């Protein structure tokens, strides 16, 4: 597939945090998607690949291989890929780009624990390399149920597909020099384990086959523009960093609210719950981006070193502390989108006596010099008033307000809000004078929205993450010690909740969540309205 190099805007090229990243080469690559006919592949991965091709970001030689259970010829899988891209791409596909992208797509059928599947896959990969006359980078994307992660990784190891040199059992393709070494990587979707013990075991099994530098544990929140912009916002603007500490910041709230229920995901969600599904991964990552120290350089290890330090500074609760630090609840019947909706326990596939939480809230503290005494409030839930993911940083109030309160409207401390979804942007709440003869104050917002400021559509998170994995840049992926540090915080909470009998507190669908969540707040603090 022929593709022009991705362009870099002057502002991006001049940014010291991102300098050089856009220029990292993308080697000739074969991307193998395990679970190629699943929902994630259809809705996110295939459209992401198309949009990368449309933007000229893929290498000139790029191949796609799908691996899944159902038997079908290459042509049928190719047609399914085209249909998925036409349906879910963020832009209307250009048919010439689409044809070029999928010109040599291949499909390998079979179950993931069958060694014959990997032998067939090796033949396909070697055939592509014979055509190219050179080793091709191999990226294995595990878009499957978590139970298959170690199964697939270990099978790749047995077949020799995890090795950076050679070409499987037959060695390197004809014409390849001995000095050639291919890039080989594995991308692993979440959830990465359901407990600290599971995550540690999975890490051991993965790292027995791949080196850590080859493993890309994906968290799609880290590919969102607002999350990435947190780094630029903090470390490229001198006006904020001097205030980014316990002397000026009163509290931080991180919210991941959804207005939908579990839909058809009862099989997964009733085993996971809000804490495992969102807080253990996505929301702790957002906390790390807020609280981390400036890295020495914007490289994968330097950035992730700083995030791990934050996680190690968070006090993991003991069993008797969980009730003071964490709240859980389930949504009951209510109204959503103008319609009556059923409660969680009435959803299809949910156990009648389920104690799985659909809402979870935590109060955490980062016990280090910068953040000592500043509460970090995290909440995630389904069937809430609206869909929004945001980070709200509230500054301490001014020590003395000389203005008269008469005629003023709700004077409040300054608040910085970074909206991750649905409308990515940043707003800063300030106190301003109301026009008139009196010195009366009211809050006003200064807002920055990606869509209006850059007059272009932000790329999907998976576009950035897939491209970074192909480049070998792991900055936006989680490292093994990072995953385990996240579980060290959440594991005691999960254990305490599992030991408690139900039923759980209920909150009305379409509401702000359970009243019990207010009990986590320190005096003078309140949850932001969703």
Long-range contacts of 101-104 (CB under 8 A, 24+ apart): 101/1, 101/49, 101/50, 101/53, 101/58, 101/62, 101/64, 102/64, 102/78, 103/1, 104/63, 104/64, 104/128
Q: What is the CATH number of the domain that holds 230?
A: 3.30.360.10
Q: Are residues 226 and 183 in the same domain?
A: no
CB atoms within 10 A of CB 530: 17
What is the distance of C-alpha 279 from the center of its chain?
A: 11
Residue where a domain terminates, one of 165, 189, 213: 189
What digits encode the pLDDT tens for the residues 179-209?
Answer: 457 899 999 998 899 999 999 999 999 999 9
Is position 54 annotated as part of the catalytic site?
A: no
449 touches 424 (CB < 8 A): yes
Torsion sign (Cα): 251, 327, 379, 365: positive
Indicate the number of domains in the chain: 2
**Residue 489 belongs to what H/E stretch?**
helix 480-499
| DSSP secondary structure of 39-52 | HHIIIIIHHHHHHH
CA atoms in the 13 A half-sphere facing the CB of 93: 24
115 touches 158 (CB < 8 A): yes
Torsion sign (Cα): 278, 282, 286, 287: positive
Buried b (16+ CB within 10 A) or exposed e, 70-93: eeeeeeebbebbbebbeebbeeeb
Flag whether 194 is in a domain.
no
Flag whether 461 is in a domain.
no
Q: Are residues 298 and 184 in the same domain?
A: no
- The strand pairing partners of 518, in sequence order, are none
What digits encode the pLDDT tens for the residues 74-132?
Answer: 999 999 999 999 999 999 999 999 999 999 899 999 999 999 999 999 999 999 999 99
Q: Are residues 231 and 132 in the same domain?
A: no
Q: Are residues 267 and 377 in the same domain?
A: yes
Q: Are residues 392 and 488 in the same domain?
A: yes
Which pLDDT value is given to residue 410? 59
Q: Are residues 329 and 243 in the same domain?
A: yes
State how far the Cα of 326 lies from the Cα of 312, in Å rounded to an integer. 19
φ, ψ (nearest 5 deg) of residue 444: -135, 160
Q: Are residues 160 and 42 in the same domain?
A: yes
Flag whether 310 is in a domain.
yes
Q: ∠ CA 91-388-322 to the nearest 5 degrees?
A: 135
What is the radius of gyration, based on Cα positions, of the chain? 25
Question: With left for phi above 0 and alpha for psi between -120 and 50, is residue 110 left, alpha or beta?
Answer: left
Which pLDDT value is given to residue 402? 63
Q: Are residues 182 and 242 in the same domain?
A: no
Lowest-confidence region among 117-121, 366-370, 416-420:
416-420
Paired tokens of 202: 């999975």
Does a cis peptide bond (omega within 30 degrees of 0) precede residue 142? no
Flag whether 162 is in a domain.
yes
- The strand pairing partners of 377, in sequence order, are 253, 363
Which pLDDT value is given to residue 175? 43
Q: Are residues 256 and 349 in the same domain?
A: yes
Flag whether 200 is in a domain.
no
Does a cis peptide bond (omega within 30 degrees of 0) precede residue 191? yes
Strand (E) positions, 79-128?
106-109
Flag whether 206 is in a domain.
no
State how far the Cα of 152 lies from the Cα of 112, in Å rounded to an integer. 6
Q: Are residues 244 and 348 in the same domain?
A: yes
Catalytic residue, candidates 282, 289, 315, 525: 282
Q: Are residues 233 and 309 in the same domain?
A: yes
Q: What is the CATH number of the domain that holds 165?
A: 3.40.50.720
Which pLDDT value is given to residue 427? 87
Flag whether 95 is in a domain.
yes
Q: Are residues 362 and 288 in the same domain?
A: yes
Flag whether 529 is in a domain.
no
What digits encode the pLDDT tens for the residues 262-298?
Answer: 888 888 898 899 999 999 999 999 999 999 999 998 8
Domain ranges, residue 122: 10-189
**pLDDT above 70 for 389:** yes
**pLDDT above 60 for 44:** yes
SS3 502: coil
Residue where a domain terminates, one of 189, 213, 244: 189
């Amino acid at each position: 597939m022929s593709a022009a190099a991705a362009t870099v805007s002057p502002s991006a090229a001049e940014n010291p945090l991102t300098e050089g990243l856009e220029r990292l080469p993308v080697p000739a690559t074969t991307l193998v998607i395990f679970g190629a006919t699943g929902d994630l592949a259809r809705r996110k991965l295939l459209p992401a690949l198309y949009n990368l091709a449309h933007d000229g970001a893929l290498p000139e030689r790029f191949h796609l291989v799908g691996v899944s259970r159902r038997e079908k010829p290459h042509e049928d899988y190719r047609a399914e890929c085209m249909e998925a891209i036409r349906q879910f791409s963020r832009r209307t596909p250009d048919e010439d780009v689409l044809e070029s992208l999928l010109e040599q797509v291949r499909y390998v059928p079979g179950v993931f624990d069958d060694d014959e599947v990997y032998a067939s896959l090796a033949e396909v990969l070697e055939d592509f390399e014979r055509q190219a006359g050179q080793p091709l980078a191999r990226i294995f994307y595990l878009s499957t149920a978590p139970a298959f992660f170690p199964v697939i990784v270990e099978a790749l190891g047995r077949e020799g597909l995890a090795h950076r040199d050679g070409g499987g059992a037959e060695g390197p393709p004809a014409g390849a020099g001995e000095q050639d070494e291919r890039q080989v990587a594995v991308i692993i979707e979440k959830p990465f384990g359901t407990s600290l013990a599971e995550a540690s075991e999975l890490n051991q099994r993965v790292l027995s086959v791949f080196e850590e530098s080859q493993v890309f544990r994906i968290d799609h929140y880290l590919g969102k523009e607002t999350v990435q912009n947190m780094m630029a916002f903090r470390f490229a603007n001198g006006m904020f960093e001097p205030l980014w500490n316990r002397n000026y910041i009163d509290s931080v709230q991180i919210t991941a609210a959804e207005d939908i229920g579990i839909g058809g995901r009862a099989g997964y969600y009733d085993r996971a719950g809000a804490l495992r599904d969102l807080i253990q991964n996505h929301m702790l990552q957002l906390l790390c981006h807020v609280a981390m120290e400036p890295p020495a350089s914007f490289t994968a290890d330097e950035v992730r070193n700083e995030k791990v330090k934050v996680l190690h500074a968070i006090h993991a609760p003991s069993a008797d502390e969980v009730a003071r630090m964490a709240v859980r609840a389930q949504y009951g019947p209510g109204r959503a989108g103008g319609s009556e909706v059923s409660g969680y326990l009435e959803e299809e596939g949910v156990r009648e006596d389920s104690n799985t939480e659909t809402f979870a809230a935590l109060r955490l503290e980062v016990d280090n010099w910068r953040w000592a005494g500043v509460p970090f409030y995290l909440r995630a839930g389904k069937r809430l008033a609206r869909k929004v993911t945001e980070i709200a940083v509230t500054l301490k109030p001014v020590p003395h307000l000389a203005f008269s309160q008469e005629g003023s409207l709700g004077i409040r401390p300054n608040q910085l809000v970074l909206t991750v979804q649905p409308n990515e942007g940043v707003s800063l709440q300030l106190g301003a004078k109301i026009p008139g003869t009196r010195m009366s104050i009211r809050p006003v917002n200064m807002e920055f929205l990606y869509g209006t400021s850059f007059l272009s559509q932000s790329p999907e998170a998976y576009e950035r993450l897939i491209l970074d994995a192909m480049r070998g840049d792991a900055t936006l992926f989680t490292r093994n010690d990072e995953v385990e540090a996240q579980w060290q915080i959440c594991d005691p909470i999960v254990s305490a909740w599992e030991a408690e009998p139900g039923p759980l507190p209920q909150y009305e669908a379409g509401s702000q969540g359970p009243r019990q969540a207010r009990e986590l707040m320190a005096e003078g603090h309140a949850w932001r309205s969703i």
